[in-house]
Structure 1
Amino acid sequence: MNYSTRYDQRKKRRLNRLLNVAIGIVAILIIYVAVKVFFTPSASEEVIADLEQEQQQEEQQEQSTETEQTIENDRDIDSTQEEVENEELREEEEDAEEELSDGEWQPIGTVQSEPFQINFSKDHVNWKEMTHAIQYATGLYDDIIIWRIENGGDSMSAVGTVSDAANKNTPYRVRIEWVTERGWKPVEVIKLSSNPYL
């Protein structure tokens, strides 16, 4: 009788141990599943993240395309403006009365360094040197009126339209060209029959 009771007790202990181990395994599995569910991004979150990344890439591509289009438009505008300026020069040439002289001048000298870069800003030394070259070619000094100085068709030439107060309607058009390390040189002076800027 005692023997069966001990046997039952041992059997219960083994069963308890087995149950405890099983409960422990189940608890570990529950914790693992909970971590997976609550702390691992779901498939839908991953899809949303992928979609957001694709949208950002598309926006960057659109911005890049817009920038390229803006640059292309600016080039087209510059090209059109240059064509208009060249057309104005041709029209002025048709109105020209008299070519006074051609290529008889020397470069005026310069304080600018090489490589030369043309600058049409009125407070820049280049503007002063262009004005001086035009004055030298026309003989107009203190009473000169500068109607316009513009690009002469390339980065090493300019064209100025000037007059004095008494001859506003018949200005001079002066072409000057840059001579390396020697400055602006007048190459052509034409007296116009009318002033395109009046």
Structure 2
Amino acid sequence: MDYSTRYEQRKKRRLNRLLNVAIGVVAILIIYFAIQLFFSSGSEEAIADHDQEEQQEEHNEENTEQLIEENTDIDSAQDETSKNEIENEELREEDEEEDEEEGFNDEVRPGDWQPIGTVQSEPFELESQHFSKDHVNWKEMTHAIQYATGLDDDITIWRIENGGNPQSAVGTVSGRDNKHTPYRVRIEWVPERGWKPVEVIQLSENPYLR
């Protein structure tokens, strides 16, 4: 009877030890797989984060390059605009200098003039002798220029020359008060009616006093 009881007790102890060992093994396996799962998940997240960071960096680099290109285009456009403005300003200055050299100040004297009459015969064409101060044509041209400018007999005639065709002339004249800013008068021949003033411009300086 005692023998049977001791056997049963030893059997239970062995069974308990086996169960404890099995539980320990299971616990170790659980811990092992839990650790593996944790580190595996962490690695995947780290890889995913790293990939996302790389994509973000690439995106930022692309945006930066695009901004640089856009700024370069803007700078180029601004440079081109500035260059055009400078060129236009230089052209304006050149035009102003040319106008100054020619002596014009764009002051055109308005007038509605009529032919002054003539004693010369037709057909009329300017010839070299017509510019002689003793010729009747010279006197008629002077009369037409005085009529257009309002100058009296104190008129100073700096030059009268052909106006570009046989029936036109241009005279540069002044009075006692405007010898430094003379008038340039264009006159044209009207058949049987004589010289007619068509344009009077006051110059900003006298080209014959330089």
TM-score by length of structure 1 reads 0.52
* Distance in 2 of aligned mates of 1:155 and 1:167: 30
Equivalence for 2:108: 99
Residue pair 1:92, 1:192 contacting (<8 A) in 2 also: no
Picking from 117, 142, 150, the partner of 1:131 is 142
Could you tell me how far apart the structure 2 residues matched to 1:189 and 1:94 are? 15
Q: Does the 8 Å CA contact 2:103/2:206 hold for their aligned counterparts?
A: no
**What aligned pairs does 1:1-198 form with structure 2 within 5 A after superposition?**
94-97=102-105, 98-101=107-110, 104-118=112-126, 119-198=130-209
What value does the CA root-mean-square deviation take over the aligned residues?
Answer: 1.8
Aligned partners of 1:107 and 1:179 also within 8 Å? yes
Shift of 1:186: 0.0
8 A Cα contact 2:172 2:182, kept in partner = yes
Could you tell me how far apart the structure 2 residues matched to 1:181 and 1:93 are? 38
Deviation of residue 122 (structure 1)?
Answer: 1.0
Q: Which residue does the alignment assign to 2:76?
A: none
Instruction: Quickly say closer, same or farther: Cα 1:92–1:121, change in 2 above 3 A.
Output: farther
* Residue identity (%): 77
Offset of residue 92 of structure 1: 7.8
CA distance 1:115–1:99, shift in 2 (3 Å): same
TM-score for the superposition, normalised by structure 2: 0.49
Q: State the aligned residue count.
A: 108
d(CA) in 2 for partners of 1:161, 1:126: 16
Change (3 A) 1:93 1:190: farther
Measured at CA, do residues 145 and 195 of structure 1 come closer, stay the same or move farther in structure 2, by a change above 3 Å? Answer: same
Distance 1:108 1:165 in 2: 24
Q: CA deviation at 1:94?
A: 4.5
Instruction: Write the distance in 1 (CA, Å) between the matches of 2:100 and 2:113.
Output: 23
Q: Which has the larger radius of gyration?
A: 2
Tell me by how many angstroms 1:91 deviates: 6.1
Give CA deviations for 1:145-169 in whole Å, capped at 9, x if unaligned.
0000000000000000000122110
Partners of 1:185 and 1:92 in 2: how far apart? 28
Shift of 1:142: 1.5
Residue 143 of structure 1: CA displacement?
1.3
1:13-39: CA deviations, max 9, x gaps? xxxxxxxxxxxxxxxxxxxxxxxxxxx
Q: 1:14 is matched with which residue?
A: none
Runs (5+) with no aligned partner, structure 2: 1-97
State the alpha-carbon separation in 2 of the partners of residues 91 and 148 from structure 1.
20
Amino acid at match of 1:95: G
1:91–1:147 distance in 2 versus 1, CA, 3 Å: farther
Structure 1 portions without partners, runs of 5+: 1-89
Amino acid at match of 1:96: F
